[in-house]
């Protein structure tokens, strides 16, 4: 999957051409409010993805730092001291629940 800034986050051999989108990009593309069911799904995935971040630093969470994956999980981008960003892949709940 390719982010909108051109970074590749999966093998180009998969041929899917799908991207991971930030929550900000998703909300802008809708051009209208999301429905209640979608809002609860986003809230759940955000909480699940943030619950076990490691390290002394906490991310500055904003819509552009929450990347929605094809499987519905969230990847959280964390800022580093040098101004770069580090991603932490946090999948959704274990399958079969």
**In sequence order, which residues have a C-beta less than 8 Å from that of residue 45 and are 6 or more positions away?**
68, 72, 73, 74, 92
26 or 80, greater pLDDT: 26
Mean pLDDT of the chain: 69
- pLDDT, position 15: 45
pTM comes to 0.57
How far apart (Å, rounded) are the C-alpha atoms in residues 28 and 4?
A: 13
Residue 12 banded pLDDT, cuts 50, 70, 90: very low
pLDDT tens by residue, 14-37: 545 557 899 899 889 988 888 999
């Amino acid at each position: 999957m390719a982010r909108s800034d051109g970074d590749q986050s999966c093998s180009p051999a998969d041929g899917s051409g799908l991207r991971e989108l930030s929550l900000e990009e998703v909300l802008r593309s809708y051009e209208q409010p999301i429905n209640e069911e979608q809002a609860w799904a986003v809230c759940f995935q955000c909480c699940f993805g943030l619950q076990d971040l490691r390290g002394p630093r906490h991310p500055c969470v904003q819509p552009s730092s929450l990347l929605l994956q094809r499987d519905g999980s969230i990847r959280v981008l964390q800022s580093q001291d040098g101004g770069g960003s580090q991603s932490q892949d946090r999948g959704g709940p274990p399958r079969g629940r």
